[in-house]
Chains A and B, each alone.
Chain A
Amino acid sequence: EIVLTQSPGTLSLSPGERATLSCRASQSVSSSYLAWYQQRPGQSPRLLIYGASIRATGIPDRFSGSGSGTDFTLTISRLEPEDFAVYYCQQYGTSPRYSFGQGTKLEIK
């Protein structure tokens, strides 16, 4: 079973700053099978990034994904007020078929 560990648990930043969120896998994960989601308070999760670095439709270019193997990163270049939310990484594997990281909460400093 592949375990995804996200860090930090909580990230406190100000609008306009750069955010760097980490997702580390316990075993190597194909970049093709790594996705990121955003969940705003009271809302359902929304796809941000798939294939480790491909922005989903309608996602602003301030969001970018990178990484390979066991280390993946979600970067938000200049934080907007609507970006303060919880972010989850997800991988497709074998057993279980899918798993999520525990999430990183991005809060306003």
Chain B
Amino acid sequence: EVQLVESGGGLVQPGGSLRLSCAASGFTFTDYALNWIRQVPGKGLEWISFISGVRHTTYYADSVKGRFAISRDNAKNSVFLQMNNLRVEDTAVYYCARDVSDYIGGAYSLIRFDPWGQGTLVTVSS
């Protein structure tokens, strides 16, 4: 069974740091990119970061660029999100999700997130 399990959430003060982890199982980890997506309780979904499988190419949303860093340890089948200089508005449930695509005609297509982890809650408050 393909599974993603997040951990590391908690309560942190504004300006503080936190490191989230996402442990993967049930698939060949290096074959897939991973993403972090967050959701303020009661609100919608916001994509925040991507890391590719082998080359570790990364992308970020403008809202977290320069403060958050995504990384992965392929030996441990895990992806991480280092969050620095946290703000009250970073309070959210953070999900990791596997990035799935089909290679068609020389390009990646049919891109989707599947599956998602159960999420971990990060609360930034004094």
Residues of A within 8 A of B (CB): 32-33, 35, 37, 44-47, 50-51, 54, 56, 88, 90, 92, 96-103
Contacts and interface: CB of A to CB of B under 8 A. Distances in A.
Contact of A32 (B44, B110, B114): B110
Query: Which of A46, A54, A97 counts the most B-chain CB atoms under 10 A from its CB?
Result: A97
Interface residues of B, number: 22
B62 A88 contact: no
A46 B62 CA distance: 25
B70 to A, nearest CB: 12
A32 B111 contact: yes
A47 B45 contact: no
Contacts of B35: 98
Contact of B62 (A54, A96, A98): A96
Contacts of B62: 96
Contacts of A96: 47, 59, 61-62
Given A44-B117, A44-B119, A103 B44 contact: yes
* Residue of B114, B115, B117 with highest tally of chain A CB at under 10 A: B114
A56 B35 CA distance: 19
Give the interface centre of B35, B45, B62 by most chain A CB atoms within 10 Å: B45
B116 A50 contact: no
A88 B97 CA distance: 15
A17 B46 CA distance: 30
B113 to A, nearest CB: 6
Most chain B CB within a 10 A radius of its CB, from A45, A54, A100, A101: A45
A98 B38 CA distance: 13
Contact of A33 (B50, B111, B114, B116): B111
